[in-house]
Amino acid sequence: MRGMSKEGWSRTFSKPDNVRRLLAYAANEGLSLDVQIEAFALRLQSRFSAQTDLSKQHLVLESLFPGYGNELLSSNRFISVSFVKGDFLVSFTAPFEKGWKEDKDWLWKIAFPESAVLTRSRSHFRVEPSPGEPVGAYLVVDDNAILGNVTDISVGGALFVSKVRAPILEAGKTIEGMQLKLPKRSIRVNARIVRMTAVSCAVAFTAISDDDRRTLEKYVESRAAEIRRGLAV
């Protein structure tokens, strides 16, 4: 698949508006941040504090976890921060500027990074369907017809949400002739359920015709390009 091979994909963003766009998801959604302090191999966890104001290039991290990371940071200058959004790993390095305590917890102000790196983090590139062009799923399991909405998809599998729950959908079950309704046409795949949660079902495709695979590849490539253009604007 052109441009989406297993060698991976990476891009560095250096314009402040583009860096801000990359960080906005983690700040707005309260994503967990993976933090590494300069000169230490330790991996620590944090989040962007509510005091973070990306419009003013003002970044504040909450207390590091485990707590001893706060003591280590106080005597070091640079930290590396990363977080995952779907198939992308976003990472950057920046110096911290100051730290202070509020209600016994540390807050750390760090400099707005000069650049951030966006890296594809899976062997099969997954994309989220556009809200304006949703992807539907239709499948039959144990004589039960099930409708679902796909939340991400690749040439190797998909994740969808459905009102149907276990025991009809269970990890390990196989699905023959699952229909995926892409924006321009529908395709059929055989699949195996690999994971269930309270709200979603993940399937791995076990068989797909060459024609349907090419259709799926073109859709994933096209949607990935839309996402990249959105991040780079």
Residue 200 pLDDT exceeds 80: yes
- Domain CATH code at residue 177: 2.40.10.430
Across 117-123, average pLDDT: 72
Task: Quickly count: other Cβ atoms within 10 Å of residue 58's Cβ.
Answer: 13
Q: Token digits for 81?
A: 């921060």
Per cent of the chain over pLDDT 70 is 87
Q: What is the model's pLDDT at position 179?
A: 97
Q: What is the model's pLDDT at position 165?
A: 61
User: What are 43-71's pLDDT values in tens digits?
Assistant: 888 999 999 999 999 999 999 988 888 88
Q: Which H or E run contains 16?
A: helix 16-29
Q: Give the mean pLDDT of the chain.
A: 85
Of 93, 120, 147, the one marking the end of a domain is 120
The answer to the question of residue 149 being in a domain is yes
Q: What is the dihedral of CA 117, 121, 123, 124, to 10 degrees?
A: -100
Cα 61 from Cα 50, distance rounded (Å) = 9
Residues 94 and 179 in one domain: no
The CA angle 67-71-72, to the nearest 5 degrees, is 105
Residues 14 and 102 in one domain: yes
Of 95, 120, 145, the one marking the end of a domain is 120
Neighbouring residues of 194: CB distance < 8 A, sequence distance ≥ 6: 157, 171, 202, 203, 204
DSSP-derived 3-state class of residue 100: strand
Where is average pLDDT lowest: 19-33, 168-182, 219-233? 219-233
Q: Total domain count for the chain? A: 2
Residues 24 and 115 in one domain: yes
Residues 26 and 113 in one domain: yes
The answer to the question of residue 162 being in a domain is yes
Query: What does 114-181 look like in DSSP terms, one character per residue?
Result: S-EEEEE-SSSPPBPPPTTS--EEEEEETTEEEEEEEEEE-SSEEEEE-S--TTTS-TT-EEEEEEEE
Q: How many CA atoms lie within 13 A of 108 on its CB side?
A: 29
Question: What is the extent of the structural domain holding 173?
Answer: 136-232
The answer to the question of residue 82 being in a domain is yes
Q: What is the model's pLDDT at position 1?
A: 29
Residue 8 pLDDT exceeds 60: no
- Domain CATH code at residue 105: 2.30.110.10
The answer to the question of residue 157 being in a domain is yes
Residues 110 and 140 in one domain: no
Residue 122 pLDDT exceeds 60: no
The answer to the question of residue 129 being in a domain is no
The answer to the question of residue 221 being in a domain is yes
Residues 114 and 148 in one domain: no
Residue 23 pLDDT exceeds 90: yes
Q: Which H or E run contains 215?
A: helix 210-232
pTM value?
0.54
